[in-house]
Structure 1
């Protein structure tokens, strides 16, 4: 995809390259393509009857929250995480831009316990974000789940770390997933980490909730005793991370005997 022409622009995860298609606007761009045919619907329904779809059926929670681009934290998006649990220490999330039937899959987030995070190499830890503020401030909510039911899980999530790669920059108006994945960061209670109140109001209106009221109900959730400063790296160092796609020499395959 990337050219080896020195004058070409690499496919980057920034907001400058590749060029948005179409240019950024206020309304979501429609996904290109024709509506599904009756035959395609029949194939899908038939396959669903005989296939187990086991990994998808492990999804057990829906969370709505917000995320910021690591290289430009002025860009903020609402995200919908569909969560499956592999162990007590490891969750994996398919991330969508909404919760409706035509939601676009925009990325993946991995969530690990503080115990697993402490064992990561320092360079790897820089790519992860903490969840304590996101939980305590009620930016992370489980739509339609009563707080008293979800609170035990929230107490555990407040001590976790996440790594979220966005593969489809829908906020730019992109009609298709373009370029490299973008590393995302979690909301924080300082400077660039704060979420636009209009985004929060839009989410609250949709679900008929009050983030402010929920925040008050989470006062008793304990802050983690230790949040590793390698996480949320931008808070200490003012630097984010972006991925560029550049040409590279291929590794030649060793012939089979």
Structure 2
């Protein structure tokens, strides 16, 4: 996994250097403009100076871009698209910052930590309730890495099979089908993954696909062979029956409790 993240990082930097990233990575503008005055000339000058003098930023390695969907664990009807910018820290642990778009104007809305199955199994049982499974996101084609070659994206998804994410949203800026907040309000919200077909609100995935020029169904078909790598995961059935639309299981996506003992 680390090899492919490093490979993708180098490729991303190479694309930037030749000006190709703009062409291969469709834009997704933020739907929310925060409350507040326009930046002054002084502020813009300070930003320019900081960009030159403060170059050793922890954000620089966060250049792996993933796009997917989240539902609030305590209110699954509250759903949104999340743009992830990630750094693979080691073979078993990655950390991502989440935005409501993929341009410079995007708002920071949360964080996600991603761990391997190996690390997940070391967690106390009480802690595991905060970590959502990833196999459905991958096998369904809903989790994508926009702008990179298909073969590299597939290898990336292969290495994320059986992994888990712990996600907190701190800004309700762009809930699907609803009006977002102009500034971050209230408590952080624990987010969850979709784990069956039909759990995503109608139009959520389709509008993302149209905007970014991708096909979730094509990716699902292309990733079908990854089903052989799928293991039963904790949390698959955590929100079962809590969505408004009828849902249907996807082969390869199984809850550990439903699978029973080995």
User: Whose helix fraction is larger, Structure 1's or Structure 2's?
Assistant: 2
**Structure 2 CA distance for aligned equivalents of residues 143 and 175 of structure 1:** 27
TM-score of the aligned structures, taking structure 2 as reference length: 0.75
In structure 1, list runs of 5 or more residues that go unmatched: 1-26, 239-257
**Structure 2 CA distance for aligned equivalents of residues 133 and 227 of structure 1:** 11
**Structure 1 CA distance for aligned equivalents of residues 228 and 121 of structure 2:** 17
* 1:47-84 residue CA offsets vs partner (Å, 9 max, x unmatched): 11111333111113111110000011011101100001
TM-score of the aligned structures, taking structure 1 as reference length: 0.76
1:48 to 34, 47, 51: 51
**Structure 2 CA distance for aligned equivalents of residues 65 and 207 of structure 1:** 12
Alignment pair present for 1:216 and 2:226: no
Runs of 4+ in 1 over 2 A off after TM superposition: 27-30, 222-229, 235-238
In structure 2, list runs of 5 or more residues that go unmatched: 1-29, 243-262
* 1:160-202 residue CA offsets vs partner (Å, 9 max, x unmatched): 10000000012252111111100000111166xx212311111
Count, aligned residues = 209
- Residue in structure 1 matched with residue 89 of structure 2 by the alignment: 86
Please tell me whether the aligned partners of residues 132 and 224 of structure 1 are also in contact (alpha carbons under 8 angstroms).
Answer: no
CA RMSD of aligned residues (A): 1.9
**Structure 2 CA distance for aligned equivalents of residues 42 and 28 of structure 1:** 26
**Structure 2 CA distance for aligned equivalents of residues 34 and 122 of structure 1:** 47
SS at match of 2:48: helix
Alignment pair present for 1:173 and 2:177: no
**Structure 2 CA distance for aligned equivalents of residues 214 and 199 of structure 1:** 16
Structure with bigger gyration radius:
1
